[in-house]
Amino acid sequence: MEALVKALISTALPIAALLISTPATAQLASTNDPAPGAASLLNSDYSTAEREIRSANVSKYDPASAINLGIALAKQGQKSEAAKQFNSVLNEEDVEMVVANGQTVMSHELAQRALASLQTGVLSR
């Protein structure tokens, strides 16, 4: 089960600096991590990941941040808050994203996969 969660996280860890569409482009400062919270998510340190993502200097419309925050919240048992993050991505423009494993995916597809994983329990504690 833990391997399945790590696989989902690896697939769902969008790299904010590589977003291709203007509305979701991260607003990065020179000291910002291009994927805030990513290392903490991969290390199963979900509360630290949440703090890093929330304090990052990126656009509030950044789908990468919303998806990563949703994962961190889900892993802390906050399923309804996680669903809000994933749904917020669905309410914005569907943008092309490059994720941590180098694949290109659409933001809506990734958010839908995250919601499905939340519902099936893959993203549960």
pTM equals 0.75
For 61, phi and psi rounded to 5 degrees?
-100, 10
* Rounded-to-integer distance, Cα 87 and Cα 75, Å: 17
Please give the angle made by the CA atoms of 95, 7 and 94, to the nearest 5 degrees.
10
- pLDDT tens-digit readout, 28-73: 443 456 688 988 999 999 999 999 999 998 888 899 999 999 999 9
- pLDDT tens-digit readout, 68-98: 999 999 999 999 999 999 999 999 999 999 8
| Fold annotation for 2-120 | 1.25.40
